[in-house]
Each structure stands twice: as structure tokens, then as C-alpha cells.
């Protein structure tokens, strides 16, 4: 069975992601910040995917958590869901930079997510692939 770790301090976004995965019969755990996300990962690193917000305890805590997980040798899919992706020009830059920084495979903009739609935007690591689940 597939398993996802959702790391987001915003209940609306986290609940919309959880509903999406529930509909696909994919188990998920939710951490409320990057510190808790790292704790979940270190106790149970059999997640197939990690989906994280960027801004939680600090403006970039989600990015640093993702980098630590990536640098640990994690082989699953790395996904960031961020309001930053709703700003023009951020996704093309992130598609390259964040693959190097934290092994990012997919980006999820939060404007559609706020409405309950999960929009999968591939980075260069997933270019040409359909959404992961």
C-alpha cells in the first residue's frame, strides 16, 4: 500500500491533500510543521512520497526539511505545495533549482489546492510523466 507524509501547518491545504489521497486509497500521515515532519520521517521512512509546504515555523523551514530528507538518501517522491508557485516565474526557476536543492519531483500550486484541486506540475526530474498517483 502506498503511503504519503503531508507536512503543512494550514488545515485547509492539508485536509484537501488528505482527501485527494484518501480518494485514491493512499494512506497518509500529517505533520503540522517541519520539525514534526522530520520526526515522522525518522521514525517511519517508508513513505512513497513527501508533500510539504515551504513556510511553517520559518519562511523556509519546509525547504530545509526537504533538503535534510533528500540528503539522507531518501528514494521516494519529493513534492512541494506552496503559495510561492502561484507567483509568475517561480515555477520555471524552481523546476531546476529545487531538483538540485532537495530532489524535488513535483510542485503543487496552492490556488487550485485551496479549491480542493491537486494540480501536479513536474520539475525536470518528472518532465513528460503524468501525475504520480
Q: What angle do helix axes 34-43 and 61-71 make, rounded to 10 degrees? A: 20
Which H, E and C letters describe the chain, residue by residue?
A: CCEEEEECCCHHHHHHHHHHHHHCCCEEEEECCHHHHHHHHHHCCCCCEEEECCCCCCCCHHHHHHHHHHHCCCCCEEEEEEHHHHCCCHHHHHHHHHHHHHCCCEEEEHHHHHCCCCCCEECCCCCCCCCCC
Residue 48: what pLDDT? 95
Per-residue pLDDT of the chain (133 residues), as tens digits, is 799 999 999 999 999 999 999 999 999 999 999 999 999 999 987 899 999 999 888 888 999 999 999 999 999 999 999 988 888 888 888 888 999 999 999 999 999 999 999 999 999 999 888 878 7
Distance CA 98, CA 67 (A): 9
Q: The pTM is what?
A: 0.93
Residue 11: what pLDDT? 95
Domains of the chain: 3-122 (3.40.50.2300)
β 49-52/3-7 pair status: parallel
Distance CA 65, CA 54 (A): 9
Residue 55: what pLDDT? 84
Distance CA 59, CA 61 (A): 6
Amino acid at each position: 500500500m502506498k503511503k504519503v507524509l503531508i507536512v503543512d501547518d494550514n488545515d485547509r491545504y492539508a485536509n484537501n491533500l488528505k482527501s485527494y489521497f484518501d480518494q485514491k486509497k493512499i494512506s497518509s500521515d500529517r505533520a503540522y510543521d517541519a520539525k514534526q515532519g522530520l520526526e515522522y520521517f525518522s521514525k517511519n521512512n517508508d513513505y512513497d512520497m513527501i508533500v510539504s509546504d515551504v513556510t511553517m515555523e520559518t519562511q523556509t523551514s519546509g525547504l530545509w526539511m526537504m533538503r535534510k530528507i533528500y540528503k539522507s538518501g531518501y528514494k521516494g517522491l519529493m513534492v512541494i505545495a506552496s503559495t510561492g508557485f502561484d507567483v509568475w516565474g517561480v515555477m520555471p526557476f524552481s523546476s531546476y533549482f529545487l531538483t538540485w536543492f532537495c530532489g524535488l519531483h513535483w510542485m503543487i500550486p496552492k490556488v487550485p489546492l485551496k479549491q480542493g484541486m491537486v494540480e501536479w506540475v513536474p520539475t525536470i526530474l518528472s518532465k513528460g510523466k503524468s501525475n504520480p498517483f
